[in-house]
Structure 1
């Protein structure tokens, strides 16, 4: 079996609520190998998005171990985590998280510039062309439809050629037609760039497109579904 690019060992996440500590993730152990596509499914509140955030270092585990590309994410401070994500991970959210005062081209070029790419704008334009927005480079997010904004977010995530793509309900704010187009693009970007893809979804059709499905229930991996 290929070496895992994501590895969790007894990963736990406990957050402080008004009534005391709340156990969000209760000892998750799993591995994801290079080039694999994995769907995280389960009922609302089962911990899917929290697990994705742990994998991306966007949430810090309160117990256990979280490794990505051989790096112990629990040992990094916030600045080091941000640098690690910049060079290795692309993240797509349900809410597009575009910078409203930047054009589509600038939104995609910014992480490339931060990573030190000399050809940031050329690469950004090429990636926007790949997602069908070559004619919308100078448009601001408010001038784009929801489907177009999510295409910009996809281009931004994929342009740095990350080893890992993480997507949290990327079609949740889109209609069926736009959602299907976005998912086709996401799988194509993963395949063409050789990136490992982990996505959270409530859509069984979408989950079925993945190489493997991991079902969560009450903060744990469902023992009935292989992890």
Structure 2
């Protein structure tokens, strides 16, 4: 694999727990090509979400290296990481992380404004319409259901057209119809704009849509094979 857009080499992650340091990830090495879609699967507690956070520089690897678009994330300070994510990554969290004092429209427009887009609010309206929330643009997160908040978070991640999308259970709070529509948007961004998608999921049907599936077990890669779902 030449010039991977994401490259992890011997990555470990240890975090402090109640009983002391706990090793979450054990020697993860993984290369992801530009435009590839990767499904991260495995039982709860296997390290999937932690691996996703390390890929985005939201958790610092304890050892090893993490490179994205040829940049060494492990060498960046927090400000540089924030700028890199703003310009290159879209991250969808399980817990939304919407700004409660901002409307749905403002939540989606904010990263576009920070990136210098003069048409931030027009683009934000288009993204909210794409996720079926045009009529909720002026509502605050507390006025929306969990599923609606998840769709706002997805619109915010998709709006800047990032080169890398990291999604942690992106349909976990959505019903079947809305979940299917959101996944079509995510995969559509990858297909139409060449974005790389790395997605944590427990849903076999979603994993089956990915180019490759990586299975984690106890913080280690158990399998890294094309469409290896079983």
TM-score (norm 1): 0.93
Alignment match, 1:194 = 194
Aligned length: 226
Deviation at 1:155, TM superposition (A): 1.1
CA contact (8 A) 1:147 1:182 kept: no
Mean Cα displacement is larger for which, 28-37 or 186-195? 186-195
| Per-residue Cα deviation, 1:179-214 (whole angstroms, up to 9, x for no partner) | 223222222233233210000011111111101000
- When residues 71 and 137 of structure 1 are mapped into structure 2, their CA distance, relative to the original with a 3 A threshold, is same
Alignment match, 1:7 = 7
Alignment match, 2:43 = 43
Mean Cα displacement is larger for which, 81-90 or 125-134? 125-134
CA contact (8 A) 1:201 1:207 kept: yes
Structure 2: distance between partners of 1:72 and 1:225: 23
Alignment match, 1:52 = 52
Alignment match, 1:203 = 203
Mean Cα displacement is larger for which, 141-150 or 82-91? 141-150
- When residues 225 and 162 of structure 1 are mapped into structure 2, their CA distance, relative to the original with a 3 A threshold, is closer
Question: Does 1:27 pair with 2:27?
Answer: yes
Question: Does 1:226 pair with 2:225?
Answer: yes
Secondary structure of the corresponding residue to residue 136 of structure 2 = coil
TM-score (norm 2): 0.92
CA contact (8 A) 1:14 1:21 kept: yes
CA contact (8 A) 1:87 1:115 kept: yes
Deviation at 1:5, TM superposition (A): 0.6
Structure 1: distance between partners of 2:2 and 2:34: 7
Gaps (5+ residues) in structure 2?
A: none
